Copies of this chain bind each other. A is one copy, B any other.
Amino acid sequence: MTLQENQIYEIIGKVESINQGAHFCNTTVVTKDGEHINLKLEFEQIDALSMGKIYQFEALAIIKIEDELILKCKEITPIEDVLSSDELSQLLELFYVYAPVPLSEIKNGVESFLNRIDNVILKKVTETIYTEKRNKFYMHPAATKFHHAYVGGLSYHTLTMLKLIDGFLNVYSFLNKDLLYAATILHDMAKIEEISGVDGEYTTEGLLIGHLVMETIHIDEVARLFHYEQTEEILMLKHMILSHHGQLHFGSPKKPQTGEALLLWFIDTIDSKFTVLGESLEHTPDGTFTQMINVLDKMRFYKDKIKK
């Protein structure tokens, strides 16, 4: 991009870094063509930006010392406020890696399970939170690294977990389907606030509170709207969310103490491992080992050469 003095430029870019010192403040963004552009900011503008998010920037080319032309950012607009829904979809695909299944299909899948919740309290609370977070839910990754690190990863992972539930209900009939569907849909929902975006970083709240407790607080708040906060359903739901990392040293303040909570942990663990394993085996020749896989104890797995 060649600059001309005093020219105004309109740039659509994804925030790669935000840099701040005592006397300077700027951001580097990448455009859909892969160009990296640095924009000088006012200190107040910094709060408008999040890592990994896309914005439209209006910038003025001005001369700094030694005749160098730099871009001074004038205005920042979230891209969602600029483009129509269709334009947005097309643009996003240029910037991000997507889940291996179309987002619309994931959405249909998740909502079909949501609709199968019969318990009134669980349905109301789950639906309320789902509706509030829906848009971001289908754009969010499941993790910044390790597993499902792509647009829609969070919802894709959620749907695969939902699909595993019925197999267990058939064998262990004492389990409560409504609790399992509701808690699975909500279990990682607070990752939307814990991690700032698709290729983003942990937020301060994410680091200091964490998605387990953030989601538990949110469920309590929503339940309170409907005067459900003292019900057994909400207590079970909060316990499942809090305990779904299974062990204290994985960050759950309580270990699972109901069958549903225990199963939620198992299917979360299983899906985070087997989805990554499946993706890794696709790129591995028969009769050899995969690369070392982080979520699988940093081990290499073998792909057999049995004829199928």
Contacts and interface: CB of A to CB of B under 8 A. Distances in A.
A7 interface: no
A170 B176 contact: no
Q: Determine which residue in A232, A281, A300 has the highest number of CB atoms from chain B within 10 A of its CB, and name it.
A: A232
Contact of A285 (B20, B250, B255): B20
A220 B190 CA distance: 16
A132 interface: no
Given A251-B253, A257-B301, A232 B274 contact: no
B205 A257 contact: no
Contacts of A163: 170-171
Contacts of A160: 171
Given A213-B213, A232-B306, 11 more contacts: A164-B171, A172-B275, A208-B242, A209-B238, A212-B253, A232-B305, A249-B249, A255-B299, A258-B302, A258-B304, A262-B274
20 contacts: A160-B171, A163-B171, A167-B167, A207-B257, A208-B254, A208-B257, A209-B254, A210-B254, A232-B304, A236-B306, A242-B253, A248-B248, A248-B249, A255-B297, A255-B299, A257-B299, A258-B302, A259-B277, A262-B274, A262-B301
